[in-house]
Amino acid sequence: MLQSFVPFLDKERYLTVCFFEFFLNRRPKSTTASFSELQNKLEISSYKLREIISAAQNLCKLIPELKLDPSADKKVTLTGLNTLKQKKIILYEAHHSLRFKIFIHVTLQPKGYSDAKFQQKHGISRATYFRLKSLLLNDISSKVKNNMASSEAYSRYYIYRVIYYFSYLDFIEDDSGKKEVVTGINHITRLLKLSPTNIQHKQHLYFAIVSYWRNKIGYRMSVDDEKYYATLKETPTIKRMNEYLNKFWASSEISAQRMTNFFLTFLLNNKEFDTNMLTALQDYTLVKKLTSEQIVIIHQSLGKNFSQISLRSLTNKLLKINAKMLVPVYLEPSYSRMKDRGFYENSYLSIAQLTKQLLQCRSNLASARPMGENEYTQLYYSYLFTIFSEIPATAFSDQVRIAVDFSQGMEYTDYIKKKLEEMALLNIQIDKFVSPKTDIYLTNNYDPSFKNYQVVWDHPPLTKDIVNLRQLIVKVKNVKHKTITDNLSNEAAD
């Protein structure tokens, strides 16, 4: 789970989450572990481990197909665990953690409880309440606490990230303003002509209800919060949104304007703006300039194969990604940062190289907000996945040609070809006949006359056979990529 959300779990409940995570992330995979392994991993005593195992058994009873069996020889076997069940475990432990409940009470007060009523509701003393509150604050990073103390906009965004990660609204009654907020969201969605997905609907609800509850308990955004907003022109649509929020949500016109800019910045950060709406951004010309430069880079990289892409679709996606640089601060998304890019760097060398060129183009834009490490990583994947989805693999020059020919007959040969289609993203071409241009010859009979790579499968391919073939394809691709790069370097030198 995300380390940044650990402070919101009670210590014992966090240990239970870690117990299950041990099995989920274990390499090599095994459903059985010894007590000593678990003690060492969780850094707890044998007595505490038995408590954790007991708690885990009780939790397994609540989740179908999840089973935990301790044995007499001090081993435990866990079956049925997967990422969905692990998420259910995290949510269960969060919603039963006093720390999380205190955070909700302190920051949002959805039930309008006083401290005394909250303590009575949860059966804790005043001393316990303040002790847990103090521990929670101590565990939240000083950077987060300082930002929350100085900015209401930051506070709202941070609270949104926490309650969204823990799916808080799925576990509360409907008498807390949800219906009113949904009505407002639906109106704004129609006004802005948005077409949100199921996930985006959920994000809108969580983001909006934080502002609804914060307003309700008296917190207001000020002029100091405007450093978190993108600067937008007052178009007729934005003016109507201001008027709506002023009438139903905000206490004044200036408060409505701040809420409008805050909501629109959130949508911009989520890349939900239609490209026509991007023109409302004050510095949109900067976004167009960067995108145009990146399109030139892509054209130079693909050469004549540039004609294979849908230029409008690619441009629109890059515009939405690049528009995020007009948000004055980096707003971190609520998912784990994928620091290790090795898989893509090794398997899709041409795509990874083009991704880095687009990133460098963004970094070179002196008039844009500089990027930190986390934003660089997020932007890397935004560009990478855009290239994957918008540029056909065949547009890259590192294509690997594979001839498939098996003596079992055409039906079997066609079956193997169909299996190879699963590797289409690796940019492969299936040759009907073996030729000198064939890179890999896949067959069940060895042919000494073929001089390139040959793979012999004398039985229907198993998972390990597919993995080995994939590794060979990547090897051939990388050799081709290096050859092409070296040739271009030599031409430039000449």
Tokens 């940019």, residue?
427
Q: Are strands 453-456 and 440-443 parallel, antiparallel or unpaired?
A: parallel
CB 448 within 8 A of CB 456: no
SS3 456: strand
Q: Phi-psi region for residue 244, left (φ > 0), alpha (ψ -120 to 50) or beta?
A: alpha
| pLDDT for residue 199 | 93
State residue 335's pLDDT score.
47
Instruction: Express each pLDDT in 409-419 by its tens digit.
Output: 899 999 999 99
Q: 128 with 101: CB under 8 angstroms?
A: no
How much is the average pLDDT of 468-493? Answer: 80
pLDDT at residue 47 tops 50: yes
How many CB atoms neighbour CB 8 within 10 A?
Answer: 24
**What pLDDT shows up at residue 333?**
64
User: d(Cα 124, Cα 167) in Å, to the nearest integer?
Assistant: 25
Lowest mean pLDDT among 172-176, 209-213, 250-254, 255-259: 172-176
Tell me: pLDDT of 486 over 80.
no
Average pLDDT over residues 459-475: 93
Amino acid at 113: Y
Q: What is the mean pLDDT of residues 262-271?
A: 94
Closest to 398 (Cα-Cα) out of 353, 443, 434: 353
- CA angle, residues 142, 270, 324, in degrees to nearest 5: 80
pLDDT of 28 = 78
Write the DSSP assignment of 38-83 as a string of letters: HHHHHT--HHHHHHHHHHHHHHHTTSTT-EEEE-TTSEEEEES--H
What is the DSSP track for 454-484?
EEE-SSSPPHHHHHHHHHHHHHHHHHHHHHH
Helices 236-248 and 178-192, packing angle to 10 deg = 170
How confident is the model over 161-216, as pLDDT tens digits? Answer: 999 999 999 888 766 788 889 999 999 999 999 999 999 999 999 999 999 999 99
Q: What is the pLDDT of residue 389?
A: 95
What's the pLDDT at 489? 64
Percent of the chain with pLDDT over 90: 76
Q: What is the pLDDT of residue 188?
A: 94
| Interatomic CA distance for residues 266 and 273, integer angstroms | 10
- Three-state SS letters, 146-181: HHHHHCHHHHHHHHHHHHHHCCHHHHCCCCCCHHHH
The tokens for 117 are 């009523």
What's the token pair of residue 134? 């103090």
**Percent above pLDDT 70 for the chain:** 96
pLDDT, the chain, mean? 91
Total number of residues shown for the chain: 494
3-state class (DSSP) for residue 405: strand
Sequence letter at residue 116: A
Comparing CA positions, the residue from 308, 368, 380 lying closest to residue 338 is: 380
Residues 448-475: what's their mean pLDDT?
A: 93
Q: What pairs with residue 369 in β-bridges?
A: none
Alpha-carbon torsion, ordered 100, 103, 107, 109, to 10 deg: 60
Separation of alpha carbons 12 and 401, rounded Å: 56
3 state DSSP class of 341:
coil
Long-range contact set of residues 75-83: C-beta below 8 Å, sequence gap at least 24: 75/32, 75/33, 75/34, 75/35, 76/32, 76/33, 76/35, 76/38, 77/31, 77/32, 78/20, 78/23, 78/31, 78/32, 78/33, 79/31, 81/20, 81/23, 81/24, 82/24, 83/24
